[in-house]
Amino acid sequence: MRKLDQRGVAAFEFCLVFLPFLASMFVIFDFGRYAITVQSLLANAGARATMVGTENNTCYTDAAINKTTPACSGDPMSDDAKKAVAPFLYNGGLSPTLNVTSGASALTVTASEPGFTMAMTLLTQPLWSTSFDAPSVSTEIPFPASSP
């Protein structure tokens, strides 16, 4: 019997395995980039809501009008407003939170996802434990010094 030519079989097998692996890696990175982008959009929307003021939170606008230092705290947006900005963050029963804290020269708006757990953390607990769980993004709103 004649022996078949085996040249190129390794390259073909490499393509069969490597291309789907590479495609899945790009999909994972892209979903991660999308989640971070959406979360930073939520932090920026919270910063806008703090600066413009909402029906339950006008501390920044009142301080700007009175030329005093704002002392804002709490969540500047309702859940419906947050869902309109970032509906992806509510998947799987999660609920993102916004928090405004006052500093010496800026207000900090922090968007976080407290119940989020990475799937890889469940599979590889000893490698990185929970260091990537509960992601958060911050945006600062600077304000001028209050007048004497």
DSSP 37-85: HHHHHHHHHHHHHHHH-BTTB-HHHHHHHHT------B--S-HHHHHHH
What angle separates helix 9-52 from helix 59-66, to the nearest 10 degrees?
Answer: 50
Looking at residue 26, its pLDDT comes to 80
Residue 146 has pLDDT above 60, yes or no: no
pLDDT at 131: 60
Strand partners, 106: 142
For 47-87, how does the pLDDT look when each residue is reduced to its tens digit (9 = 90+)?
A: 888 888 776 677 888 888 888 888 888 888 888 888 888 88
For the chain, give the percent of residues with pLDDT over 90: 1
The pLDDT-based confidence of 8 (bands split at 50, 70, 90) is confident
Phi, psi of 8 (to 5 degrees): 90, -5
**Structural domain spans, the chain:** 9-142
Q: Note the pLDDT of residue 59.
A: 82
Q: State yes or no: pLDDT of 129 exceeds 70.
A: no
Given a cut of 70, whether residue 45 has pLDDT beyond it is yes
- The one-letter amino acid code at 14 reads F
Residue 137 or 120, more confident: 137
pLDDT at 135 over 60: yes
